[in-house]
Chain A
């Protein structure tokens, strides 16, 4: 599992499940969910009509698609949700398994405080109502990566409900038209992760790793289509999508598939499908039974989880034993929406640029560090960071943290540009050199490669004059009105200056000289 969309950092065995929906609950099925496979399945989510993307065909009604997402995200913590065992990325298989993780009889779950805090903070960040009392349940099914034969989850009463997330979509030819949308968050629940299975088809066996420290983010999509005004259609579930790109593709494909199926008189089965990323289509997963009954019961070994706020905190309560929602709210870091707004306000940045800055890990910090050390205009810094710098990173598939160019170096470079010590073109060359051989300062590179702009205006004037005299034909062309002639002249002058003059300045001079 790779490419998380939301960074929740280090792997852990604990998971939050966020149900994202886009509209009113349609109450399809009970919360225990009519699930169709023997594999891990989750409860239903509410859905809402999305803006119709399909044109009416053959005089048929319009179609509306309804999409709900289940997002599994690992919590960053030192130990697992219910057992004391540690969490380490890429540890050898089954090296981080406590007695409880292996479901040894007699072991009992003990709730990890840090995980509860993370869930509350997530709920607060997503504008949820935090349930001061939430419950744990057992969800039963047999599978090799589920040693206890059940998963502890929060099915009846999860820790947070009824939240929302405001987001923006960029549309239009240049993707610079912003549409602001809101998606509803049905609930957030804490739950156990299952183990990892590796299928060895060669030896017809499956290997199980109970460390469960891999896989930071996973999304299941629930999709159905219907005619607006009519009841919602049968939904399918597409499981285990682990990148935003595949998620989008899978959803688009599935919507199309369902529409085509229905228009051809077929029917949609309430089934689980997986996405074949090579073929770009969804395929049904092996499914023996129609529906899976998880036989939910309350988890008897975990009392109800009670949370407090400053108003309801019992007097003399041991701070080690209680969680105060208000305290956690104060500890929330600045949310991305707020950061983006600040960037737009402070730097006059375009909204779409603020998104890009925040969507790359470390990029915002890089940008801010450059801003600290440079006199250049924010717009120019933005442009350099988002276009040049980011471009180089993407080309070589590097993270910001792996950049050979430091913020200081870029700041210095931009200062040189700002002071008109070098031209724009020269600056790009310097940047390339900085990237290739970290260690030299921009000033050093400029001097080594003799990229300074000519400072002597008189000398430049003379060069312009001389060039024009050497190429009377071009001058004639220019006077005749040939627009390309001026560029040729500029090019010639530049060549004569060994590229050390700003073309804009040259052009100015030439035009002035010509007109006089």
Chain B
């Protein structure tokens, strides 16, 4: 190989006949053998091997981004260690984290003692893994990673609930910040006017800490606000008597499971009993929200996905008869059904003859939905309290009985109006269901009042004392993780 020309060896690398590291090793080995020639004054072995590794990354199939998202960079700048990239529904389209090219994500609670005991299953018996539960989605990988103690925080995205939904089903905190507070530079867009980076942690304080690092204007994202951000250190609220909690009546839908409904009531009563004012409010346009979201989401998706043509990066098919044929085949191969379905729908809505009736109409309805929230907050409500999901996590085999679109509509029902209005919202785990699975509730705050929202959420979290997941059986000797000695760690406020 070393005797070949540059061109030849380049072809060999591309075809996989030899890897960059192998080639590098050959050169290094020969350098050692010919040391007597005294040609080198310095041999940068480590640097070369590191570069070979980087080169291998580039040769791998698929796109490796050459830059960090602003939110990632901010975390790294504060000394965070990046444990890895997490799994999700393809292009963040879905509410189960089941439609990704890397396979579905399994909810850690499927293996929890709490769930297993209720199911009366043997921990490591056969058929153990056929009935595992979904995480929810689309940022299910991040939720599972945090839930299973593999990391202290994870980033997700939230366009219609993709951070809050899996947070609720995995028993962790899922925060959707106000639109414009956190930079979207580096976030692959789904719906530019609704996307935000989401934050998943095991407690509200941690979410606030991460938000404190991430929030702020980014000159690379023209939709971030310029105002300086306030601190996100959360006071420990003891007195909720000045709070007004709103319960939107339209969110009491028939599909809501009785357990979630009951916990929702319980939470409302909890606030009331501690002196808060809890009132029923109305968000009259709620019922149009899903359809409106569908039109706007697919329209923006059709636009945002136009760049995936195989020319500049990513997968490219083998056809080279013409540019158009190449585009068509690349996109057919590269996108799954869900994505393709949304692109086609979106393009339909954006056709000249349809634009007014669908896109413009949906934008108007969006304005009405956003105004519903404004009106409610203007009437003195500080925070809204709603369910996050219709029920607890369901088994994968159940979930896939319906298609992605149906499941998304169900999964997003309580969460996506928030994205349309650009408001902050957080899902906080409340209690376990009768099956031993987490149920979370959602708090929705005023725009840019993320700190107030989290303060209320933190109070609630302290009140409900959600149990820690017990994964000892599958984690083996990672018992140190589960020392229940939180009390011994006192935090200065």
Q: Are B306 and A108 in contact (CB under 8 A)?
A: no
Q: Measured between alpha carbons, how far is A149 from B191 in the docked complex, in Å?
A: 16
A32 proximal to B (CB < 8 A):
yes
> What is the size category of the interface that chain A forms with chain B?
20 to 34
Neighbour of B307 across the interface among A105, A206, A302, A321, CB < 8 A: A105
Q: Are B223 and A303 in touch, CB under 8 angstroms?
A: yes
Bitwise interface map of A from 283 to 310 toward B, beta carbon under 8 Å scored 1, else 0 = 0000000000101110011110000000
Give every chain A residue within 8 A of B351 (Cβ-Cβ). 293, 295
Expressed in whole angstroms, the Cα–Cα distance for A32 and B355 within the complex equals 11
| Minimum C-beta distance from A429 to chain B (A) | 62
* A138 touches B (CB below 8 Å): yes
Tell me, rounded to whole Å, the shortest Cβ–Cβ distance linking A157 to chain B. 15
Q: Are B189 and A106 in contact (CB under 8 A)?
A: yes
**Contact code string A140-162 (vs B, CB < 8 Å = 1, else 0):** 10111001111000000000000
The reply on B25 being an interface residue by CB < 8 A is no
Partner of A140, one of B65, B67, B186, B303: B303
User: In the complex, A459→B109 CA distance in Å?
Assistant: 123
Residues facing A in B182-205 (CB within 8 A) are 184-189, 191-193
Name A303's contact: one of B187, B222, B300 (CB within 8 Å): B222
Q: Return the contact of B299 from the options A30, A109, A297, A303 (Cβ within 8 A).
A: A297
A150 to B307, CA, bound (A): 8
Complex formed: what's the CA distance from A138 to B67 in Å?
25
**Is A102 an interface residue, CB under 8 A from the partner?**
yes
Answer yes or no: A118 CB below 8 A from chain B CBs.
no
| Given A208-B311, A297-B359, A99 and B67 contact (CB-CB distance below 8 Å) | yes
Indicate if the CB atoms of B67 and A149 lie closer than 8 Å.
no
Known contacts A301-B222, A302-B222; is-contact A105 B189 (Cβ 8 Å)? yes
- Among B63, B300, B323, chain A packs the most CB atoms within 10 A around the CB of B323
Question: In the complex the two chains form, is B188's CB within 8 Å of A108's CB?
Answer: no
Chain A residues with Cβ under 8 A from B347's Cβ?
Answer: 295
Contact with B along A26-68 (1 / 0, CB 8 A): 0000101000000000000000000000000000000000000
Taking the complex as formed, is A107 at the interface, i.e. its CB lies under 8 A from any CB of chain B? Answer: yes
| Contact indicator A106/B65 (Cβ below 8 Å) | yes
Tell me, in angstroms, the Cα distance from A111 to B221 when the chains sit together. Answer: 10
If over half of A's interface residues share one DSSP class (helix, strand or loop), that class is named, otherwise mixed; here it is loop
**Contacting pair A297 B188 (CB below 8 A):** no
Q: How far is the CA of A144 from the CA of B322 in the complex (A)?
A: 11
- Kindly name the residue among A108, A142, A206, A303 whose own CB sees the greatest number of chain B CB atoms within 10 A: A108
Of chain B, the residue at the smallest CB distance from A107 is B185
Nearest residue, chain A, Cβ from B68: A106
Supposing A103-B312, A295-B351, A302-B222 touch, asked if A148 and B307 sit within 8 A by C-beta, the answer is yes
Residues of chain A within 8 A of B307, CB atoms compared:
103, 105, 147-149
Helix, strand, loop or mixed for chain B's interface? loop
Decide yes or no whether B352 CB sits under 8 A from chain A: yes
Inter-subunit contact A144/B311 (CB<8 Å)? yes
Cα-based distance from A293 to B66 in the complex (angstroms): 34
In Å, the complex CA distance between A144 and B307 comes to 10
| Minimum CB–CB distance for B197 against chain A, Å | 11
Does B482 sit at the interface, judged by CB under 8 A? no
- Is the C-beta of A332 less than 8 angstroms from some C-beta in chain B? no
Write out, one digit per residue, whether chain A residues 205-219 have a CB within 8 A of any chain B CB (1) or not (0). Answer: 010100000000000
Among residues of A, the one whose C-beta sits closest to the C-beta of B322 is A204
CB neighbours (8 Å) of B189 from chain A are 105-106
B410 to chain A, nearest CB (A): 26
Interface size class for chain B?
35 or more
Query: Is residue A514 within 8 Å, beta carbon to beta carbon, of the partner chain?
Result: no
Residues from chain B with a CB closer than 8 A to the CB of A144 are 311, 323
Indicate if the CB atoms of A110 and B226 lie closer than 8 Å. Answer: no
Q: What is the 8 Å Cβ interface bit string for chain B, positions 305-320, against chain A (1 contact, 0 not)? A: 1111101110000000
Q: With the chains together, A148 CA to B303 CA distance in Å? A: 9
Q: Is B344 an interface residue (CB 8 A)?
A: no
Shortest distance from the beta carbon of A221 to any chain B beta carbon, whole Å: 24
Counting CB contacts under 8 A, is A104 at the interface? yes
**In the complex, which residues of chain A have a beta carbon less than 8 angstroms from the beta carbon of B66?**
99, 104
Find out whether the CB atom of B306 lies under 8 angstroms from the CB atom of A149: yes
Q: A99-B66, A148-B307, A293-B352 are in contact. Are A301 and B192 (CB under 8 A)?
A: yes
CB contacts (< 8 Å) of B65 on chain A: these are: 104-106
C-beta contact mask, B220-241 vs A, less than 8 Å → 1, else 0?
Answer: 1111001000000000000000
A285 to B122, CA, bound (A): 72
Separation of A303 and B193 alpha carbons in the complex (Å): 10
Contact between chains at B187 and A106 (CB < 8 Å)? yes
Closest to B350 in A: A295
The answer to whether the Cβ of B302 comes within 8 Å of any Cβ in the partner chain is yes
Give the Cβ gap from A153 to chain B, nearest Cβ, in Å. Answer: 14
Neighbouring B residues of A107 by C-beta, 8 Å: 185-186
Q: How far is the CB of B11 from chain A (nearest CB, A)?
A: 18
Interface flag for B45 (CB, 8 Å): no
User: Which residue on B lies nearest to A84, using beta carbons?
Assistant: B220
Partner of A108, one of B220, B352, B355: B220
Contacts of A300 in B (CB 8 A): 191-193, 223, 300
Decide: B323 and A148 in contact? CB cutoff 8 A.
Answer: no
A106 lies within 8 A of B188 (CB): yes
CA distance A300 to B312 in the complex (A): 23
CA distance in complex: A343, B180 (Å): 55
Contacts of A104 in B (CB 8 A): 65-67, 312-313
Known: A140-B306, A303-B223, A321-B226. A106 touches B312 (CB 8 A): no
Of B67, B185, B300, B352, which one neighbours A30 at CB under 8 angstroms?
B352
- Which residue of chain B is the closest to A295 with respect to CB atoms? B350
- Which listed residue, B186, B311, B359, touches A147 by the CB 8 Å rule? B311
Q: Once the chains are docked, how many angstroms separate the CA of A138 from the CA of B299? A: 12
A150 to B308, CA, bound (A): 12
A450 to chain B, nearest CB (A): 68
- Closest chain A residue, CB of each to CB of B223: A301
Whether a CB of chain A sits under 8 angstroms from the CB of B219 is yes
Taken residue by residue from 311 to 344, chain A's Cβ proximity to chain B (1 for < 8 Å, 0 otherwise) reads as 0000000000100000000000000000000000
What is the CA–CA distance of A147 and B355 in the complex, to the nearest angstrom?
24
Which residues of chain A from 94 to 124 have a CB within 8 Å of any chain B CB?
99, 102-111
Of residues 68 through 117 on chain B, the ones whose CB sits less than 8 Å from some CB of chain A are: 69
A321 to B222, alpha carbons, bound, how many Å?
A: 12
CB distance from B190 to the nearest CB of A (A): 11
Chain A residues lying within 8 Å of B308, measured Cβ to Cβ, are: 105
Interface flags for B159-199 (1: CB within 8 Å of A; 0: not) read 00000000000000000000000001111110111000000
14 A-B residue pairs with CB within 8 Å: A30-B352, A103-B307, A104-B313, A106-B185, A110-B219, A111-B222, A140-B350, A149-B305, A295-B302, A295-B350, A297-B300, A300-B192, A300-B300, A303-B222
15 additional contacts (CB under 8 A) given A108-B223, A300-B191: A99-B67, A106-B186, A106-B187, A107-B185, A108-B184, A109-B222, A110-B220, A110-B222, A138-B303, A149-B303, A149-B305, A295-B347, A295-B351, A297-B359, A301-B222
Interface residues of chain B, those whose CB is within 8 Å of chain A, are 63, 65-67, 69, 184-189, 191-193, 219-223, 226, 299-300, 302-303, 305-309, 311-313, 323-324, 327, 347, 350-352, 355, 359
5 A-B pairs closest in CB distance: A149-B306, A300-B192, A295-B350, A105-B188, A106-B186
